[in-house]
Structure 1
Amino acid sequence: MLIAVASKDGKEINQHFGHAERFLIYDVEQDEAKLVDEKRVERYCSFDPENPLRGHALRGIADALQGCRAVVTAQMGEHPQGELEKLGITAFAVSGPIKATLVELAKIL
């Protein structure tokens, strides 16, 4: 299954959903997580007085994460989490090493 991760360094889950300008896409099978893609996105958290809820940015991120079963970030607000879950993408706010964490999360998905 595909899982998207927000990471500053590509080793740890250590980035807030709204600050991510890219998501690392991992294919997680059995006890292995392998990096298979990287998706560049517009940051969700940026000031825009004409679009305060940033719906267009959230749709763009959801489109980029199409095919992913889950997204894993260090933190995520309730609004984007709820919207992604409506689209079938389970959201997790956790921290830790990417590969080991994804293998554990895949067991509950």
Structure 2
Amino acid sequence: MLIAVASKDGRDVNQHFGHAERFLIYDVEGESVKLVDEKKVERYCSYDPDHPLRGHLLRAIADALKGCRAVVCSQIGECPQQEMANLGVDTFVVNGPIKSALTELEKVL
């Protein structure tokens, strides 16, 4: 299964959803965790006076992550979390090493 991760360094889940300018895409099967892609996105947390609710950014992020079963990040606000759920993307808040976080998450998905 494909899982998107917000990470500053590619080792740990350590980035806020709204600050991510890229998501690392991992293919997770049991204990096997392989980086398979990187999706660049526009930051959700940015001031845009023409689009104060930034729903267009969430739709673009959801589009970029099509095919992913979930998104894992260190933090996400309640509003973007609900919006992502409405767009069919599950979000999980996790901190720590990517591999262990994804192998544990795969057990419950």
TM class by smaller structure: over 0.9
Which structure 2 residue ranges, 5 or more long, are not aligned?
none
Which structure 1 residue ranges, 5 or more long, are not aligned?
none
1:48 aligns with 2:59: no
Name the counterpart of 1:95.
Answer: 95
Name the counterpart of 2:82.
Answer: 82
Deviations 1:57-109 (Å, cap 9, x if unpaired)?
A: 11110000000000000000111111111222210011000011000001111
8 Å contact 1:7–1:24 — kept in the other structure? yes
**SS of the residue aligned with 1:107?**
helix
- Kindly, what percent of the aligned residue pairs are identical? 71
Name the counterpart of 1:33.
Answer: 33
CA RMSD of aligned residues (A): 0.7
TM-score by length of 1: 0.97
Whole-Å separation in 1 of the counterparts to 2:86 and 2:72: 16
Kindly tell me the number of residue pairs found equivalent between the two proteins.
109
